[in-house]
Each structure stands twice: as C-alpha cells, then as structure tokens.
Amino acid sequence: MKYALIIPDGCADEPLESLNGRTPLQAANLPAMDKIASLGRVGVTDNTPIDFPAGSEIANLCLLGYDPNVCFTGRAPLEAAAQGIELGPYDCAVRCNLVTIRDQTMIDFTADHISTEEATTLLADLSKELFGENGPLADSDLAERLEFVPGVSYRNLMLYRGDADHPSPFTSSTRSSAPHDLTDLSVVDDFPRGPGSQILVDLMNASAEILAKYPINAARKAAGKDEATHVWLWSSGGAPKLSTFEERYGIRGVMITAVDLLRGIGALAGWPRIEVEGATGYLDTNYAGKGQAAIQALADYDFVCVHIEAPDEASHEGNADEKIKALQQIDEHIVAPLWEALSQHGEHRMLILPDHPTFCRTKKHTHGPVPLVMAGTGIEADSATTFDEVAANASGWAFDPGWTMMDSFVKKAD
C-alpha cells in the first residue's frame, strides 16, 4: 500500500462576508480535491485539544497520530530536531522570532519576512552584545550557556546548555505567547511568565535597543521594509520523545516541507526529508516542485507527506484572496498529479487535511475541527462531492481526539 498525506496548513476557515458567506475552501476552484471527495469519504478531526494552544506544533503531532499529552515538550525542541540539534537532559530550546513591534503593538511577527541572510547576521551580532560582558546577563553564568541558532528567515532558536548542577531555568510551567497570535494587538500583557521568564523578558527588552542601531535595519527602513525591532522568545522545552512512524505502523515515510517545525517532527518520526528548490514556506513557494518530488518519492517510500505553509501565511495576513490562490495552486500542482501517480502503484490511499483552522478575520490559529478527505483502496465513498468545512461537518464522521485519526488512514478502514 502506498500512502500520500497532503497538509495545506491552516486552510480551514469560517464563512467570510467578502466571499459572500463562503469559506476560502468553498470559494476556491478545487477540481482535484472535489474529485477525491466524490471518490472517498469526507469528515472532520480535531487536532487542537482545548488544554493546549491551537498551534501547528500540537496540531501536526495530533494529525500524525501522536498524543501531545505523552510526547509534547514545546515547539522549539521540535524545530531543534530539524537542525539535527540534540538536547541533553538538562538542555532547553526556545523559539526566537525576529519581529516588528511599534508602540507596544505586534506589527509583524515575521519582521516583514526578513531574509535568512539578514537574520543570521543580526543574531550573530546580537549574540555578542546580549551574551557579552556588558549584556543583561553579565553578572551570571547564563550568558555562557545561551546561544542563538539561526534557522529560516524570522524563525530561529535560542539554546540553553545545562548540566546536573545547572539545569534549565525554564520549565513546563514557563508560559509564553506565540507572536503570530498577537498581530495588530498590544504585547504588553503577553511577555513570558513563570520560571525563568525574567531572563527571557530582559533579553527581549535589551534586544530592542541593540537592534535599533544595526545597519541592516537602517537599510531595511530605507527600502520601505519593516525593521526587526525585537527578538520574541517563546515555546521553550526540553528533549521530546517520539516513537518512530515505522515502529508504530511498519512503513517507511518521508517529509516534504519548507518549515522547520515539520522537518523536526518528521525527523523525530524517523523520516528523512526531501528539500525542494524554491520551496519557501510562503505564498511564492514552488508548488509544482513539491508535487513532482512527492511523485518521485513514491518509488522509494510507502508514506509520502507533503506540507504546504502558504494558506496559513495568507490567513495570518488576513488575505482571503491569496489563501484561495494558494489552495488552487495546491490542487493543480500537488493534489491532481499526485493522485494520478498513486493509482500507478497498485493499492493506495490519499489523505488531505489542514492541521488547524486559521481565520482570515482574526489572523490567528483557532481551536476546533478541520475537514478531511480520505480516499483510495478499501475506503468506501460517501455522498459528499466537495472538500470543504460544510460538507465535512455534515458527514457525521468525526475523530476526537485527533490523534486517533491516523490509525483509520494507515490501517484498513472499518
């Protein structure tokens, strides 16, 4: 059996006045997804347990069949795994966004999609000053234990390296807010709290004065771009423990994504990853390249996972039109050719679903069910003819908690 999983991140939404009361999934022209809906079964699954944040870290773990109550320690450790960073028993990873804050308002959680090259340079310079002899941590040994690790664009990490005598000051009780949930909102009440939080707050505040004087920011301002005004530190945690996908299901998988979070989850699940040239994790990603990479991967792997960040990015920008365009690109360049290729491999199944809803109206992730469509060998078709929230909610087929859904996809349908 060959399996294909397609994750259009954050594509679930609510009816929008600008779309005449339709959701982006309903408004988009999605002939391939609708065809698969007519051939298979449509339903809903809830990947965002109410006791956890409605974040991609929780939702994608649930989607892939992992119970976050058992394996989740934080978002940053998952992204550390993407870079091959091993965390010891006393270590901790912290997510580090470069953001734009003005007048205590989160203007842009991506610092206007700062380039990786710019981010790497800023973090290297910032490290020297924040962790140096005149930095806010100069009177402690913390500076020697902290380091920034550049990632992709605004998505970076800060690591704490501890030992038995110096365990991480950050614990499971350390609370922080995801910057993408604060767009256009005041950040005054959303700085970290709990164990070790003052360290994070001091670093975040000190970064503002330091970043303001850097030539890169001056050049960005002159070019009409938002500056990287602060580091935003959030979602800390220690080493996660996941059983591999092959241990659980006896099949070999592979991950195709441009986002470190999914790279990390894939790595911990025991999957290698395929890097696609031009895959950006944004609206300008190489959709066709991802589709072709997935088709080629079917020859070597039993389970091919393709994650596309673009719909979520459009939602965070509050741009329904771009969300629709992204969905149509996914339908044409990934879903359609991959479904056709699957049929050439004998027994096969395809599953399409987002991780969580992201509303264009609020520009935020939200808790709640998302639509799914499952089709292929051994899956009996229902009466649905479209893939969207309305058809899914009307089906009566639901998975809650969401981490139980993967068993129905990989194993024979009841």
Instruction: Tell me: pLDDT of 171 over 90.
Output: yes
Instruction: Tell me: pLDDT of 11 over 70.
Output: yes
Coil, helix or strand at residue 341: helix
pLDDT for res 93: 97
pLDDT for res 135: 81
**d(Cα 78, Cα 262) in Å, to the nearest integer?**
8
pLDDT for res 346: 93
Which residue would you say has higher pLDDT here, 254 or 172? 254
pLDDT in tens, 23-32: 999 999 999 9
**d(Cα 315, Cα 54) in Å, to the nearest integer?**
14
Check residue 52 and report its DSSP letter: S
Question: Which DSSP helix (H) or strand (E) runs through 348?
Answer: strand 348-352
State the residue for tokens 């020859």: 299
Question: Which DSSP helix (H) or strand (E) runs through 94?
Answer: strand 92-102
Where is average pLDDT lowest: 28-32, 119-123, 135-139, 252-256? 135-139
pLDDT for res 363: 94
Instruction: Tell me: pLDDT of 114 over 80.
Output: yes
**d(Cα 52, Cα 366) in Å, to the nearest integer?**
11
Coil, helix or strand at residue 406: helix
Please check whether residue 297 is in contact with residue 304, taking contact to mean a CB–CB distance below 8 angstroms: yes
Q: Closest Cα to residue 64, out of 241, 313, 242?
A: 242
Identify residue 100 by its one-letter amino acid code: T
Give the long-range contacts of residues 215-219, CB within 8 A, separation 24 or more: 216/118, 216/121, 216/122, 217/122
**Percent with pLDDT over 70 in the chain:** 99
**d(Cα 310, Cα 326) in Å, to the nearest integer?**
6
Q: How confident is the model at residue 308 (pLDDT cuts 50, 70, 90)?
A: very high
Q: Cα–Cα distances in Å, from 362 out to 16, 59, 170, 307, 388?
A: 11, 19, 30, 23, 20
- Tokens of residue 25, six digits: 């999934």
pLDDT in tens, 335-394: 999 999 999 999 999 999 999 999 999 999 999 999 999 999 999 999 999 999 999 999
pLDDT for res 61: 97
Q: Closest Cα to residue 351, out of 405, 297, 414, 403?
A: 405
Instruction: Output the pTM of the full model.
Output: 0.87
Please check whether residue 160 is in contact with residue 144, taking contact to mean a CB–CB distance below 8 angstroms: no
Q: Alpha-carbon Rg of the chain, whole angstroms?
A: 21
pLDDT in tens, 244-262: 999 999 999 999 999 989 9
State the residue for tokens 């990873």: 93
For the chain, give the mean pLDDT. Answer: 95
Q: How confident is the model at residue 170 (pLDDT cuts 50, 70, 90)?
A: very high
